[in-house]
Chains A and B, each alone.
Chain A
Amino acid sequence: MIINDSKLKKKAQFFLFGISFVVYFSILCLSCYLKPAQKGITIAGSTSIQPFADQWAEVFMSRFPEKVVNVQGGGSSAGVQAAITGASQIGMSSRELKPEEKVLTEFIVAWDGLVIIVHPSNPVDNLSLEEVRKIFAGEIISWKEVGGFAKTIHVVTREEGSGTRVAFQEMVMGQRRITKKAIVQDSNGTVREVVANDPYAIGYISLGLVEGRVKAIRLDGLEPSVENIVEKKYRLVRPFILVTNSVPHGIVQDFIQFILSEEGQNLIQKQGLIPARLVKKGQSKEE
């Protein structure tokens, strides 16, 4: 009786031990072939769009609770790649698509101004485009040269490959390179944090993210405001693009339609972005 019992126990132990591995390895192998069984759709890409998209998804899901939208960061390039490979159903890009990425269907859902920011205590509040270019190129190194403190300028930029940096590079720097001495941060929020805490820092972020703790610089005398962008005066403007692999259908279509609807565009305006219809494509590049 005792022997039987212990044999059984041993068998059970052996069985349990073995089975856990069989299960584990088969899950591993099977999952390579399985299609992700995730509910709803995933949007991935630009960290500049992510905070806004998060809210779009929140409102969208409160309207249609059965339609699930997951928002991911990753960066513009990763988002576009994810849309091409199908890793996510919608990609977000905060820069224009490259020619080889044009296979995707794109929807401009909003426009965003790029704003040069400094610490609120900084006396400088107007810079010319040329001055900004020289500051970021490392040619102007003291605030004194542009009418401020006799202090070294702490340039803050985004990391190589970021959509915001690409847009800034194109619209402000042109052929010049951003100085290597610049502090590099990997999101709009972090750039804003650094500038908000350092009286001698300068950086660039999305118009929608400007708030009291940083001061927006006027560029050639122009306030970076929605009106100035719509009136085509302030020219640091870039599109927020959603891309899909094919003609959208199902939740993807519903979501994009929702953002482009009156309600969605109103939400976008409330977030400090510029509704898609107010700006024509290519405005940023017009002379």
Chain B
Amino acid sequence: MKRLLFSCLLLTGFTQATAQDYFSLLNPGSQYVYAGVSAAPALMAQTGYAFSGVTIKDKPLVFTAGITLPLFSQKGFDAELNVGAGYQWALAKNWNMITGLSWNIMRSQDINGRYLCSGFKLDMLPAYYTSHWMTGPHLALDYRPWLHIRHSDYSKEAYTGLYPSGSGTYTTPRDGWFLQDNLALQLGAGVAYFRTHWNINLKAGFNWQPNRLGLISLPDIGIMPFYGSVNVGYKLH
């Protein structure tokens, strides 16, 4: 079973940003839950809840709340919380576009330090619909500019003995709030199979995190240009 789960994860690819599930829009109702796995490229599991009490032009506006947990990287308690809203736009006959905007906050810890990071993610999935299937391109923009770092002793030790004279300007890394250009752009495809009460959906594609060095991939340190997620959703009411 573990091997099967792992194979599924590998097949889905890898994503820089975690998956927020707006596919509850495929199962109109007031309450909905979902769970799934993704790779970011860290292997993650996510679950969440969606609520819909408002309609705009006869289409539901859903509000979502989710949590994402790394599967293998836990040192302390790593988690991302996200809240968002999604709407399904009617584009043309058989063509609709799921759009979602979420705010996320992530706490993680590793040997270098402890982090609190926050930002926004915009998802767009214009898709062709049949009675039980939908498929189309997936586009997403994930921007996480705010970051708080508390460096570990390991990180601080790198500054030990830096200056032959014993003193200099830089003696320790800086703790506190940072701003950064942490942007991830995703271009891929999404597909879902849906029935009245449930759906299963998959997103996968190319992930690009713009950087000044033009790096697309450096697997040694966890930079990989793919993303993917698989989620299963169920309508409660």
**A, B: real partners:** no
- B-side interface residues toward A, CB under 8 Å? none
